[in-house]
Amino acid sequence: MNKSGLEYDVYIFDLDGTLTESEPGIINSVQYALEKMNAPVSDRQLLRPFVGPPLVYSFVNTLHMTEDEAMRTVRFFQERYRRAGYLENSVYTGIPNMLRKLKALGAHLAVATAKPKEFAEKVLAAFGLDGYFDIVAAPMDEDEAKSKERLVRKVLAVESGRAVMVGDRDLDILAAKACGIDAIGALYGYGTREELESAGPVAICETVGELTKLLTGSDEVMPGAFISLEGCDGCGKSTQGKMLAQWLETRGYEVVRTREPGGCDVAERVREILLSPDTKGMTGICEAYLFAAARSQHVREVIKPAVERGAVVVCDRFVHSSIAYQGAGRGLGIDAVREINAIAVDGCLPDVAIWLDVDPALALERRFANNNPDRIERENAGFMNVVREGYAKIAAMDGTLTRVDASGEPEEVFQRVVGALKGIL
């Protein structure tokens, strides 16, 4: 064991089938290439062995092509993969957490993949993994792609200390052994148990969780993150929340999508009272306490446990809504509402609160598209303007609320949302 309690100093990961679930993009692109070669294969199952090993090798060995035909097919493959295939991919859930933990313990991390360097780097960057690795060993030409051993040696030439290779195929394990280092099989990828066992790894892990425990020596997870989405009614936060959850999931995060008021049984019941058009006589102070009461349950039952187990919570609205709606909108005052909520939130505040700011008139239009407005949505436009001013005040006062311009198409707004998250994930 080294001084941080890790068994190894250098951790070398295969990419496809070990860090990312790359099958869709690879198989779609192989099918495209085979069609171009007038040799279509519609059964995707038959093409599964193409995920991982060098493509030329697979075309020759699996489809019995000549080397020359295989090279031509690979060029068609690359044409589609470069355009669309590399994005038809996702990171296995738990991988970012594992990499973060290894990094925090001082490990050196590397990738050794048969994927051409151009594509390997594109995938790592597109899925937010590029920052973790000290070196990416990937082939610059077809010749280099043929030998995983050469790629592993590239890593070992620059990284010193005890190394281990993690991969999902026998070629990964055999390459590591040829280099004299230990290998661990990732059975959640594309290889079979028999294939991995016959290559002789020191261990086989069935899940990313098992692998994390084996590599880091503990079950403990790094805390996740808490993101809240804020704004006036009709600002588009549900759409953005959905897009954000999906974006995070494809990057390997466990995502808990929730909302306020609500998010758990007790709080959903309080939501019914709060939003029912029948509770017309409710005072602002009663409203503030009810939102805080629902929040206190939601924090303890859902948000805190999720963040503690390493998940990313994406919550529609949180305490900033109370400050803007009850503090500013109902005139209770920002400080009074903060105070009401202090015990409710129990120190659990968003790592990033994103305020989707949009012209209340535009939001109003979107609200009118909703033909069954709730009690608060029935407030007049003047109320929503005051709420917006409330958000603006909070954003100006402290760094807890980040304004994002929410005008324009959902995809444009989403790019701004992602920009606001830089640094927390």
Task: Please give the residue ranges that form the binding site for ligand TMP (CB under 6 A).
Answer: 233, 259-261, 275, 291, 316-317, 321-322, 325-326, 376-377
CB-based contacts of 39: which residues, under 8 Å, 6+ apart?
A: 63
Query: Which runs of E-coded beta strand occur in 220-328?
Result: 225-230, 255-259, 312-316
Q: How far apart are CA 68 and CA 200, in angstroms?
A: 33
Q: Of all residues in this chain, which one has the CB nearest to ligand TMP in the complex?
A: 325
Rounded to the nearest 5°, which phi and psi values hold at 5? 85, 10
Inter-helix orientation angle 334-345/284-298, to 10°: 30
* Residue whose token pair is 């090798």: 57
> What is the distance between the alpha carbons of residues 226 and 132, in angstroms, rounded to a whole number?
21
Query: What is the smallest separation between the CB atom of 411 and ligand TMP, expressed in angstroms?
Result: 21
Q: What does the alpha-carbon distance between residue 99 and residue 377 come to, in Å, rounded to a whole number?
A: 44
CA 393 to chain centre: 31
Q: How far is the CB of 249 from ligand TMP (least distance, A)?
A: 22
For residue 183, which of 144, 215, 137, 143 has the smallest C-alpha distance?
A: 215
CB of 358 to ligand TMP, least distance (A): 14
Quickly count: other Cβ atoms within 10 Å of residue 347's Cβ: 8
* CB of 141 closer than 8 Å to CB of 163: no
Taking alpha carbons only, the member of 140, 379, 356, 157 closest to residue 282 is 379
H/E segment holding residue 24? helix 23-36
Q: In this structure, what are the phi and psi dihedrals at residue 275, rounded to the nearest 5 degrees?
A: -100, -5
> Which of 307, 324, 319, 321 has its CA nearest to residue 344?
319
